[in-house]
């Protein structure tokens, strides 16, 4: 961790930014599994005097706070660099990921008005650079006070949640967010693992299942249909990178289902969970 001095402020959702960094670090880890290596996270301020053109994107001149995630792994072939942020594009083996990790990173960074670029070559590791517009510090204290006066919704709760998600980054982010809000969280990396857990004689009592829709072998809707055979009343929230209409057509049937689209923030996740748990 190499932090710059006197870093500027950025205006972002903390939970979403954590998800971005976790996604990039998990990918870096996966790129160094075979040979080992070094993961470095660098933060700094940067003044850009002239617009910067990278492929089809132009980053305007201005002041930015930069986060770099650097690994010494296998690197990325040139033919993949232009597609690396596309939804469902993945260079991992079948069943090892959905290809949504980097598209989630791209979506969150662009929503904040920032930019993310990658520099890599086979055998030379990879560097992902995030440029977030520096927030003007004037009036920050007043804005914070106004926000505090208005108050915020209480998103804490109790109960046991089974979280089913094959993407490590999303599962780690989500589980930590829910535990911080007071919930007990049991994690499963696949639909099969979740089903095996719930079929055990000593299975944990679960108040809510939060499950991804798209997973290898046994997807979320199929897993829930099997669970309903012996836990008919369990509450369920589906999470998915699909548009909601496409998701509902894939689930089928007339059952009312709860849905949370990816990417989601800590506040959105905690709010949806509390809403469903209190019904």
Model confidence at 256: pLDDT above 80: no
Give, to the nearest 10 degrees, the angle between helix 168-180 and helix 14-31: 140
- Tens-digit pLDDT profile for residues 41-87: 999 999 999 999 887 788 999 999 999 999 999 988 877 766 676 65
Residues forming beta bridges with residue 133, ordered by sequence position: 64
- Tell me the pLDDT band of 168, cut-offs 50, 70 and 90: confident
Rounded CA separation 260/221 (Å) = 14
- Least Cα distance to 38 among 68, 70, 67, 66 occurs for 70
Mean pLDDT of 198-202: 93
Two tokens, residue 186: 């049991």
Q: Average pLDDT in the 139-164 region?
A: 67
Q: How confident is the model at residue 255 (pLDDT cuts 50, 70, 90)?
A: low
* CATH numbers and ranges of domains, the chain: 2-133 (3.30.565.10), 160-277 (3.40.50.2300)
Retrieve residue 152's tokens.
């915020």
């Amino acid at each position: 961790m190499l932090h710059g001095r006197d870093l500027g402020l950025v205006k972002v959702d903390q939970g979403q930014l954590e998800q971005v960094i976790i996604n990039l670090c998990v990918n870096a880890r996966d790129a160094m599994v075979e040979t080992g290596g070094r993961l470095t996270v660098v933060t700094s301020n940067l003044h850009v005097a002239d617009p910067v053109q990278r492929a089809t994107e132009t980053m305007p001149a201005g002041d930015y706070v930069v986060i770099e995630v650097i690994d010494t792994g296998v690197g990325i072939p040139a033919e993949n660099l232009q597609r690396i942020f596309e939804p469902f594009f993945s260079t991992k083996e079948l069943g090892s990921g959905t290809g949504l990790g980097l598209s989630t990173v791209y979506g969150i960074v662009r929503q904040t008005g920032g930019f993310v670029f990658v520099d890599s070559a086979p055998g030379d590791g990879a560097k992902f650079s995030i440029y977030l517009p520096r927030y003007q510090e004037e009036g920050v204290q007043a804005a914070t006070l106004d926000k505090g006066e208005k108050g915020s919704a209480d998103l804490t709760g109790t109960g046991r949640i089974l979280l089913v998600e094959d993407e490590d980054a999303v599962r780690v982010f989500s589980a930590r967010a829910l535990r911080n809000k007071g919930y007990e969280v049991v994690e499963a990396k696949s639909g099969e693992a979740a089903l095996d857990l719930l079929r055990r004689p000593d299975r944990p009592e679960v108040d809510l299942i939060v499950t991804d829709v798209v997973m290898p072998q046994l997807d979320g809707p199929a897993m829930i249909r099997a669970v309903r055979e012996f836990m008919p009343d369990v509450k369920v929230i589906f999470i998915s990178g699909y548009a909601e209409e496409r998701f509902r057509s894939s689930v089928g049937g007339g059952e009312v289902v709860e849905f949370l689209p990816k990417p989601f923030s800590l506040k959105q996740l905690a709010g949806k969970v509390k809403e469903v748990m209190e019904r």
